[in-house]
């Protein structure tokens, strides 16, 4: 059972970093730091969007319009942090 919990924590940690990379990439794209016509850059951007958008879309629907500021990645990171801490402090000790 410990191996399953460690695998879930690892998956949450990887997703955490993918959300951060997606946010950074969107800033680089918005400020024309990266060339979107470059095939490698486009592939990375497409991958990050496909991985993070399903989790960010429902949060964006619930948030009010903030005038171009997207705080949905921050909210998702907080939710992942809460879930990770809940697993480590509540679920894991109960199973041991």
Closest CA to 73 of 56, 58, 61, 57: 56
Residue 95: pLDDT over 90: no
For the question of whether the overall pTM of this predicted structure is more than 0.95, the answer is: no
What digits encode the pLDDT tens for the residues 11-43? 999 999 999 999 999 999 989 899 888 999 999
Cβ atoms of 12 and 81 within 8 Å: the answer is no
What digits encode the pLDDT tens for the residues 56-92? 999 999 998 888 889 999 999 999 999 999 999 999 8
Handedness of CA 58, 28, 80, 11 (dihedral sign): positive
- Name the phi and psi angles at 68, rounded to 5: 95, -5
- Name the phi and psi angles at 11, rounded to 5: -65, -40
Residue 96: pLDDT over 80: no
């Amino acid at each position: 059972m410990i191996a399953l919990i460690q695998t879930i924590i690892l998956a949450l940690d990887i997703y955490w970093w993918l959300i951060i990379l997606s946010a950074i990439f969107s800033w680089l794209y918005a400020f024309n730091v990266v060339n979107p016509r470059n095939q490698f850059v486009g592939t990375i951007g497409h991958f990050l969007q496909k991985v993070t958008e399903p989790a960010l879309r429902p949060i964006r629907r619930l948030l009010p319009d903030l005038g171009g500021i997207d705080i949905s990645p921050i909210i998702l990171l907080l939710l992942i942090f809460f879930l990770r801490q809940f697993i480590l402090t509540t679920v894991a000790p109960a199973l041991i």
